[in-house]
Amino acid sequence: MNILIIGAGGFIGSHLSEQILKSHKDWKITALDISSNKVSHMLPDENFDFHKCDILKEFDIQEEKIKQSDVVLPLAAIASPLIYVQDPLRVFELDFEANLRIVRWCVQYKKRVIFPSTSEVYGMCPDEEYDEENSNCVTGPICKQRWIYSCSKQMLDRVIYAHGIRDSLQYTLFRPFNWIGSRLDDIYNENNGSSRVVTQFLSNILHNKPINLVDGGKQIRCFTDISDAIIALIRIIENKNGCANQQIFNIGNPYNELSIKELAYMIVDLAKGYDKIRDKANNTDIRELTAAEYYGKSYQDVRRRVPSIKKAEQILGWKPTTSTRESIKKIMDYYFR
C-alpha cells in the first residue's frame, strides 16, 4: 500500500510513520511536511520518502503525490488553541482551505482519505459521553474565536461525508481526544500557550516558570496515549473487510478522565522522580488565572470532554489500555532519562 501522509513531520504523523516502518514492511510512506525535525531518524529508511512541501504554496507536488497514492492522511493543521484566538484566519487557511483542496483531489482521483477530525467538533456539548452519530456540535458566539478550529474541522467532516454520498468517496473520519506522547509540540519552547497542555506544563517546569491553571483547572479531559491511538489508526488504514469505510470514530480514552488541576499535580509529582528536573519540580509554583488573562477574551473552554468509544470497540476491536500516569512517565523517560 502506498500511503501519503501530509503533515508527517508532526506529533501524530511521526508516531504513525514510526509504527508503520516497524510493523508493515510492505507499506510505503510518502511524507510531506514543512519540517523534518521530528522524523530525521526515519529519513534513511527506503520505505519513508520525505519531501519538504508547504501545502499553502506548493500545489503540483501535492496533486502528483495524491495521484500516486492508495490512501491519503492529511494531518497538516494548526492544533494549538492560543493560535485559534490570536490568528484565526491562519487556522482557517491551513486547517480548512488547504485541506479542502486535498479532499477535492482525493475525490477527483478516487483516493481513500483518512481525515483527522477532532474532539473539538463536539464543542461544549453537554452529553456525558460524546457519540459520533448522536451528539450535537455546540460552539459559541462568533466573538469567541476559539471555535474557528472546531468549525473548520466540522465543515470538512460535512464536506467529506457529502462526497461519500454523492461521489462514493472512500473515507474514514477519526476524532482524537487529547492524544499525548513524546514529540507533542515542543517542550523547549518556553512561551505560554505555545503547546498543548501536557507539553506546556513540562515546559513550564523545565524553564522554571509557574504552571498556570486556567480558570482553576477544573475542566476535564480524557488523555489518550499515542501508542494506543496509533493501534487504532493502523486498524483504520488496514480497513479489514472495508470495516472503516465511510465511518466516523472517536479515538480517545474514557477511562482517563482527569481535571487539568489533577494533571498539573501529577506531572509535578512525577517530575520529582527524574534527576534532570527534580530541583526544578520541587520549586514549581502552581497558580490560578482566568482564561481571559491566559488566552484573551475570545477564548471559551470545554468544561468536560469524554468520548464514547463503542464504535471503535465494536468495529475496529480497539480499546485503549494506558493510564495518563503511565503516559506521562513515558514522555518524561523520553526527554529526561
Asked if 219 is part of the footprint of ligand UGA (rule: CB under 6 A), the reply reads: yes
Least Cα distance to 256 among 271, 270, 269, 266 occurs for 266
- Element (DSSP H or E) covering residue 113: strand 112-116
The site string for ligand UGA over 150-179 (x = CB under 6 A, - otherwise) reads --------------------------xxx-
- Element (DSSP H or E) covering residue 212: strand 211-214
Window contacting ligand UGA (CB under 6 A); options: 45-53, 87-95, 114-122, 160-168:
114-122
- State how far the alpha carbon of 259 is from the alpha carbons of 26, 72, 178, 213, 256, in Å: 42, 35, 13, 10, 10
173 or 214: whose CB is closer to ligand UGA?
Answer: 214
Window contacting ligand UGA (CB under 6 A); options: 32-40, 58-66, 192-200, 230-238:
192-200
Burial 33-72 (b: 16+ CB within 10 A, else e): beebebbeebeeeebbbbeebebeeeeeebeebbeebebb
Q: Which of ligand UGA, ligand NAD, none binds 71 (CB below 5-8 Å, type-dependent)?
A: none
Asked if 320 is part of the footprint of ligand NAD (rule: CB under 6 A), the reply reads: no
Asked if 252 is part of the footprint of ligand NAD (rule: CB under 6 A), the reply reads: no
Asked if 18 is part of the footprint of ligand NAD (rule: CB under 6 A), the reply reads: no
Window contacting ligand UGA (CB under 6 A); options: 130-138, 154-162, 207-215, 316-324:
207-215
| Residues from 168 through 227 that contact ligand NAD (CB under 6 A) | 176, 178-179
In whole angstroms, the minimum distance from the beta carbon of 12 to ligand NAD comes to: 4
**Binder among 33, 132, 157, 228 for ligand NAD (CB under 6 A):** 33
| Residues from 294 through 323 that contact ligand UGA (CB under 6 A) | 301-302
The site string for ligand NAD over 66-105 (x = CB under 6 A, - otherwise) reads ---------xxx-x--------------x-----------
Q: In what order do the strands lie in the sheet with 112-116?
A: 48-52, 28-33, 2-6, 71-74, 112-116, 171-176, 247-251
149 or 171: whose CB is closer to ligand UGA?
Answer: 149
In whole angstroms, the minimum distance from the beta carbon of 212 to ligand UGA comes to: 4
Burial 165-185 (b: 16+ CB within 10 A, else e): eeeebbbbbbbbbbbbbbbbb
The residue behind cell 509529582 is 269
CA 205, CA 301: separation in Å to the nearest integer? 24
Q: Which of ligand NAD, ligand UGA, none binds 164 (CB below 5-8 Å, type-dependent)?
A: none
Task: Characterize the bridge pairing of strands 179-180 and 171-176.
Answer: unpaired
Q: Taking CA 293 as the corner, what is the angle to CA 288 and CA 299, rounded to the nearest 5 degrees?
A: 110
Task: Characterize the bridge pairing of strands 220-222 and 257-259.
Answer: antiparallel
Cell numbers for 188:
523547549
Asked if 226 is part of the footprint of ligand UGA (rule: CB under 6 A), the reply reads: no
Asked if 123 is part of the footprint of ligand NAD (rule: CB under 6 A), the reply reads: no
Q: Which of ligand UGA, ligand NAD, none binds 35 (CB below 5-8 Å, type-dependent)?
A: ligand NAD
Window contacting ligand UGA (CB under 6 A); options: 46-54, 88-96, 115-123, 275-283:
115-123
CA 301, CA 321: separation in Å to the nearest integer? 27
In whole angstroms, the minimum distance from the beta carbon of 15 to ligand NAD comes to: 8
CB 238 within 8 A of CB 298: no
Roughly how many angstroms between the first and final C-alpha of the chain, as a whole number? Answer: 37
Q: Which of ligand NAD, ligand UGA, none binds 55 (CB below 5-8 Å, type-dependent)?
A: ligand NAD
Binding residues vs ligand UGA (CB under 6 A): 79, 81, 118-120, 149, 176-178, 196-197, 200, 212-214, 217, 219, 221, 260, 301-302
